[in-house]
Amino acid sequence: MTPRIYIAYTGGTFGMKPTPSGFVPDRGLAQALQARLPAPGQDGMPHWELHEYAQLIDSAEAQPRDWHTIATDIAARYDAYDGFVVIHGTDTMAYTASALSFALVGLRKPVIVTGAQIPLAMPRSDAPGNLAGALLIAGQHPLPEVGLYFGGQLLRGNRATKVSAADFDAFASPNHPPLGRVGIDVEIDRRRVLPMPAQEAFQVVAPQTREVAMLRLYPGLTVALLERVLAPGVAGLVLQSYGAGNGPVGLPGFVDTLAAASARGVVIVNVSQCARGRVDPALYATGSALAAAGVVGGLDMTVEAALTKLHHLLSLGLGAEEARHRLQQPCCGELTSP
């Protein structure tokens, strides 16, 4: 029986058209694809049905409510299809793939996020190849994961990050090997794939309204700016630190400001500015000082995974201590345990 795949078309470069002010999302993608893809059931292609969202967006406009919309859409149609493909813009694709992995925890069917660097209607577009690869993976391989397929590579969605605005291989997975590659054959590395869970345990919850901030440390950062970032009303902070989790702890007021925010319930997670490696608070005294101030080490999570996981945990209504604990526990392959 030919697998049935649901395609959620959310917008992005994939289906854009040129205008005097630049590329914008366009409608009618299902008809355009019929002339570009093999017929359903031929050449291993599954049957696919495309749903075009009412509000197509450039992914630079994406918000947590959009992650929730996509997750809710997939959850509602979960029993009717064998797999899912999400067409999405590249700018925030890694954020959405990460967010979906947390919302759809316990997933037993593949959800593959893909897109394009060049629109489908343009010469040399990478859109047909990316979508065909995503459909073949979703239709032929029962992966219990949210994956990101782009430029011939299948990456774990919550391990992916965008590394190029100019190349067809626009995404990388610095701290986890690819799950598979598509060339002449579709090759899945089963050793890298998450084990099949006993049952789904989706946690599709409406996004919380409190703000989650992000701050990248840099020489010259002032405590006054840190205080503004951590102003009342902020529920969480992703702190992008140096190297293995270090910061300017000798700066008067820096550690005290972080400690005061932690004490009033702000959840602060520390991730490295480096693409490869992990936060190890015990390695340097500067990292230990951050940990003593209540800052949670994010281990080897990407910035995208840390931000979306923090959003998700707060949306579940967890208290600060429970959220801090869960940030360091693997949920769906987003981090490597110590």
Residues forming the active site:
13
Task: Give the Cα separation of 166 and 126 in Å (integer).
Answer: 12
CA nearest to 245, candidates 201, 325, 300: 300
Task: Give the Cα separation of 70 and 204 in Å (integer).
Answer: 10
Task: Give the Cα separation of 249 and 234 in Å (integer).
Answer: 22
Q: Which residues contact 331 (CB under 8 A, 6 or more apart)?
A: 101, 102, 105, 309
Q: What angle do CA 324, 71, 3 make, to 5 degrees?
A: 130
Task: Give the Cα separation of 4 and 304 in Å (integer).
Answer: 30
Cα–Cα separations (whole angstroms), residue 118 to 28, 179, 247, 276: 17, 24, 39, 28
Bridge partners of residue 180, in order along the sequence: 154, 188
* Cα-based torsion angle of the residue sequence 336, 196, 6, 4 in order, rounded to the nearest 10 degrees: 150
